[in-house]
């Protein structure tokens, strides 16, 4: 089973307006609310590709209950810990001439509730995969992910990390099976600019040498690069289409890659990852399975 962790999920309120005037009254031409959070996005795309998963994390208040309802309606099994106070955050995503966001802080997560999440790691086995992604709520310690990773590693579970900066570096001693930085995040890790596939491959290999088993680097319109545990380096082209909303594209790539690897096919995993990421980038929310399958034949490995 694949378990995804979203420590600070949200309801994302997406609003579109033709023109935005700062300090003035603006009217939306379209709005929608979606379940937000990187782990949730991974679970939704996995479901759309026919792969089951369980979404873990924390929810609170009436917004948390709505989030759980929406996740279940999307076909995802959830096992969120309900907090006694506070409310799941609402993030406002404004789409105008430029994209702007206001992200909430999220509820206070007491230590005993984090311990409840930690205890869920004890059911994992070597047949399970744990996906760690997204931000850490201010009320949790900065080592929350490494604490979860340590407990999961003791059970032999495979670790997948879609994290950036220090959060990713701190996880490397636990030998994550897959890490997925984008090329900007990879450049920040090594204090450089990663602008093309050869440089992405070089730094992906360095990250692999530091502890990651497989390093998948997403590069937006340039596709992706994979430095795999057997020493090979592979590339894949990007899906072609008009970008509507980039939120969730990287999470969809992770899900597509996992779905492909569930079939034991690394080439399929890269192609399915690129197709899933592209399909979501070309949609308002997480793309459905049909959209991914339409794009799949157009995505080629190098």
Are residues 43 and 144 both part of a single domain?
A: yes
Are residues 238 and 295 both part of a single domain?
A: yes
pLDDT at 180: 96
Of 134, 151, 171, the residue at which a domain comes to its end is 171
Give which of 106, 96, 105, 97 is closest to 15, Cα–Cα.
96
230 in active site:
no
Q: Rounded to an integer, what distance in angstroms lies between the CA atom of residue 280 and that of residue 78?
A: 22
User: pLDDT tens digits, residue range 120-179?
Assistant: 999 999 999 999 998 898 899 999 999 999 999 999 999 999 998 899 999 999 999 999
pLDDT at 40: 97
Are residues 260 and 192 both part of a single domain?
A: yes
Q: Rounded to an integer, what distance in angstroms lies between the CA atom of residue 210 and that of residue 85?
A: 41
Q: Rounded to an integer, what distance in angstroms lies between the CA atom of residue 279 and that of residue 299?
A: 11
Low-confidence ranges of the chain (pLDDT < 50): none
Could you give the number of structural domains in the chain? 2
Looking at the DSSP bridge assignments, the partners of residue 18 are none
Are residues 230 and 98 both part of a single domain?
A: no
pLDDT at 31: 86
pLDDT at 1: 96
pLDDT at 24: 83
pLDDT at 21: 84
For 244-261, b where at least 16 C-beta lie within 10 A, e where not — what string?
Answer: ebebbbbbbbbbbbbbbb
Q: Which two tokens stand for residue 56?
A: 């873990």
Give which of 294, 264, 234, 244 is closest to 48, Cα–Cα.
294
CATH code of the domain in which 145 resides = 3.40.1190.20
Tell me if the pTM is above 0.75: yes
Of 125, 142, 171, the residue at which a domain comes to its end is 171
Q: Rounded to an integer, what distance in angstroms lies between the CA atom of residue 62 and that of residue 41?
A: 21
- Diameter of the chain by CA atoms? 57
**3-state class percentages of the chain: helix first, strand second, coil last, to nearest 5:** 40, 25, 35
Q: Which two tokens stand for residue 142?
A: 């900065």
What range does the domain containing 159 cover? 1-21+28-171
Of 138, 171, 204, the residue at which a domain comes to its end is 171
Are residues 195 and 287 both part of a single domain?
A: yes
Contact between 253 and 281 (Cβ < 8 Å): no
pLDDT at 227: 96
DSSP state letter for 299? -
Are residues 244 and 118 both part of a single domain?
A: no
Catalytic residue among 251, 265, 288, 290: 251
pLDDT at 241: 87
pLDDT at 152: 96
Are residues 185 and 235 both part of a single domain?
A: yes
Are residues 214 and 299 both part of a single domain?
A: yes
């Amino acid at each position: 089973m694949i378990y995804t962790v979203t420590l600070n999920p949200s309801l994302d309120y997406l609003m579109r307006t033709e023109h935005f005037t700062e300090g003035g009254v603006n009217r939306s031409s379209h709005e929608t609310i979606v379940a937000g959070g990187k782990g949730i996005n991974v679970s939704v795309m996995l479901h759309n590709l026919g792969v089951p998963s369980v979404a873990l994390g924390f929810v609170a208040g009436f917004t948390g209950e709505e989030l759980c309802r929406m996740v279940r309606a999307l076909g995802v099994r959830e096992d969120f810990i309900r907090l006694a106070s506070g409310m799941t955050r609402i993030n406002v995503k404004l789409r105008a001439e430029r994209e702007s966001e206001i992200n909430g802080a999220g509820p206070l997560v007491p230590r005993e509730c984090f311990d409840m999440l930690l205890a869920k790691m004890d059911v994992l086995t070597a047949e399970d995969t744990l996906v760690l992604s997204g931000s850490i709520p201010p009320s949790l310690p900065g080592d929350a992910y490494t604490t979860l990773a340590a407990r999961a590693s003791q059970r032999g579970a495979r670790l997948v990390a879609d994290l950036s900066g220090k959060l990713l570096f701190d996880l490397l001693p636990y030998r994550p099976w897959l890490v997925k930085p984008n090329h900007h995040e990879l450049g920040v890790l090594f204090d450089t600019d990663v602008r093309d596939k050869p440089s992405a491959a070089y730094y992906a290999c360095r990250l692999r040498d530091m502890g990651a088993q497989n390093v998948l680097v997403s590069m937006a319109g340039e596709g992706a690069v994979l430095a795999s545990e057997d020493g090979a380096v592979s590339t894949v082209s990007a899906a072609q289409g008009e970008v509507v909303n980039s939120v969730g594209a990287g999470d969809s790539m992770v899900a597509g890659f996992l779905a492909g690897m569930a079939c034991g096919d690394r080439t399929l995993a890269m192609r399915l990852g690129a197709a899933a990421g592209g399909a979501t980038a070309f949609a308002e929310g997480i793309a459905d399975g049909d959209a991914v399958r339409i794009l799949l034949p157009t995505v080629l490995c190098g």
